[in-house]
Structure 1
């Protein structure tokens, strides 16, 4: 089908959201500025998510899935999406649809000279505690990485797949995608996108993995930065 863009949707116990995901993503495929397909990555869900995913994929030619044997976490699901993407561009959106698929077009508009374009939630519709903990975590991360990004947790991103496949992913590194692109000397950009309240399912991140966990991950990133191998071939023969 000569697809140009793959949208990764990590799924963990999101049975209440998946029919809405199908409806909104199927609609977006008619609006996308790129020939687009969808890849569900089921991160070992224990509810009826897999059954629904298979039904959705049977109904929609451009929808596909990967199912984990057991739960491995968001970073692993994103990495699996990168590993299985075969298009020039790869995107990412959460199954709770607190961001709008249509806003992928805002990011795609700027991807030309950038390796990664990420959304920044301009008017977040989350609780005070969630907003403040994320704000603090982003400030700490920026101090470590110097990436200049205000909202790396925004679940709406577009990345060049060749860059994505070179990222040495580890647990928690999904928050450091812009910084890992900078290690590859790629250009990054953030673009304001819309944000909506979660209307179904349960949030998978609490205070620990939104604030204290990322602080520990910053030290893992610094180790990775010191050890990271990056080279550019000047000539071959």
Structure 2
């Protein structure tokens, strides 16, 4: 990827990164909603990272980008997962402040300004959304509560809802983190381990309108245990260091 020139004229303008995989029924509507709702002095660009989808979502987004210059569409050559999609979008971003949304449309774009307002370069450098009333099945809500409780006990990250896709954070801090498959679920713990402060803001949650979730409770559990142990090791070994030039 070519080197990115950051636009630092406004510290509060964001690159909105949306990972998507087979979300043709949701992604176009979500992007248009973000473009319509978010003010021009906040939203610098929308970057959708398509993770090698097999539907026509990319074709729809290309048509939208022809009339919406702030929309950029990236596409993975192979399916690489949500964490890789987020990282590709962040690496391509032209603004130093990032907001992320899940591509299924369940995170309301209208809640982004509240997270940006809570962000501060001096801390918190990551602000996460907390879904006040989840629009998922009872089994998913229960599994999420148990997983969040276990993760907080092991990682001490004080994050009430790490699975919420709506987050605001600093681009360079994200790119400096160790990368691995599943990283997006552990950003609060990793940001804290490497010297950043975190905060959380209540947001809305909406039912999925089209398609099906790419995750099941069984799949999350199988992936989550080794990931959790790996992140615990990273957190224990992390040594945030700052250096200043001596004049």
Shorter-chain TM range is over 0.9
SS in 2 for 1:204: coil
Q: Does 1:145 align with 2:155?
A: yes
Offset at residue 57 of structure 1 (A): 1.5
Match in the other structure for 2:3: none
The answer to whether the 8 A contact 1:22-1:56 is kept is: no
Offset at residue 108 of structure 1 (A): 0.6
Offset at residue 72 of structure 1 (A): 0.5
Match in the other structure for 2:34: 25
Deviations 1:136-176 (A, max 9, x none): 11111111210111100001100011211111121111111
Q: Over aligned residues, Cα RMSD in angstroms?
A: 1.7
**Gaps in structure 2 of 5+ consecutive residues:** 1-6
The 5-angstrom pairing of residues 201-220 of structure 1 reads: 201-220=211-230
When structure 1 is superposed on structure 2, of 136-145 and 221-230 the one drifting more is 221-230
The answer to whether the 8 A contact 2:155-2:235 is kept is: no
SS in 2 for 1:77: helix
Offset at residue 210 of structure 1 (A): 2.7
Deviations 1:73-102 (A, max 9, x none): 001111111211121200100111111101
The answer to whether the 8 A contact 2:189-2:235 is kept is: no
When structure 1 is superposed on structure 2, of 19-28 and 89-98 the one drifting more is 19-28
SS in 2 for 1:69: coil
In 1: Cα distance, 2:170 partner to 2:104 partner: 24
**Cα gap change, 1:66/1:229 in structure 2, threshold over 3 Å: closer, same or farther?**
farther
The 5-angstrom pairing of residues 70-149 of structure 1 reads: 70-112=78-120, 113-149=123-159
Match in the other structure for 1:200: 210
When structure 1 is superposed on structure 2, of 187-196 and 206-215 the one drifting more is 206-215
The answer to whether the 8 A contact 1:43-1:72 is kept is: yes
Match in the other structure for 2:242: 232
Match in the other structure for 1:40: 48
Matched residues, number: 236
**Gaps in structure 1 of 5+ consecutive residues:** none
